[in-house]
């Protein structure tokens, strides 16, 4: 009986770790090779989330989208567009500068309504003006 409980606990732990990894990293998707489902400005998408978060989650969550805006903050692996879109870069791009207009493509992972920020991961530069 004790052996069955230990095996069941181990199986649940392994499944939990795999489930967490899949949910956090979105499986084996390569967003940079996908076609963007939507191309929107940072202001437009935030306005949509502010007006109806449930509808916007259904429309955008886990989808590859292209977002247009101005770089307001940056680090080697993250860019913030118009102070409201947080994009985790797939690869660092030293050509990007603060104040630059650009379009990034990434996967929508969530909206933080408290901070008013939309978060994307696996981002890459589509258009660098």
12 band by pLDDT with thresholds 50, 70 and 90: confident
In angstroms, rounded to a whole number, what is the distance separating the alpha carbons of residues 118 and 94? 23
Name the residue among 46, 45, 49 with its Cα closest to residue 36.
Answer: 45
21 band by pLDDT with thresholds 50, 70 and 90: low
Which domains are present in the chain?
29-128 (2.40.50.140)
Length of the chain: 129
> Would you say 54 and 97 are in contact if contact means Cβ atoms under 8 Å apart?
no
What does the pLDDT read at residue 9? 77
Q: What is the pLDDT of residues 41-79, one digit of tens each?
A: 999 999 999 999 999 999 999 999 999 999 999 998 999
CA distances (Å), origin 62, targets 1, 13, 25, 46: 42, 25, 11, 16
In angstroms, rounded to a whole number, what is the distance separating the alpha carbons of residues 98 and 59? 30
pTM of the predicted structure, to 2 decimals: 0.73
Name the residue among 83, 102, 98, 108 with its Cα closest to residue 31.
Answer: 108
Query: Which is more confidently placed, 21 or 54?
Result: 54
What does the pLDDT read at residue 1? 82
């Amino acid at each position: 009986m004790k052996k069955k409980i230990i095996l069941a606990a181990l199986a649940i732990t392994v499944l939990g770790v795999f489930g967490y990894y899949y949910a956090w990293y979105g499986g084996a998707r390569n967003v940079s090779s996908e076609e963007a489902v939507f191309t929107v400005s940072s202001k437009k998408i935030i306005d949509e989330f502010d007006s109806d978060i449930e509808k916007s989650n259904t429309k955008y969550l886990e989808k590859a989208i292209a977002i247009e805006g101005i770089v307001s903050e940056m680090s080697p692996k993250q860019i913030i567009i118009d102070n409201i879109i947080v994009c985790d870069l797939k690869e660092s791009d030293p050509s990007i500068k603060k104040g630059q207009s650009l379009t990034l493509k990434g996967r929508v992972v969530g909206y933080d309504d408290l901070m008013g920020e939309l978060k994307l991961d696996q981002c890459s530069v589509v258009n660098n003006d």
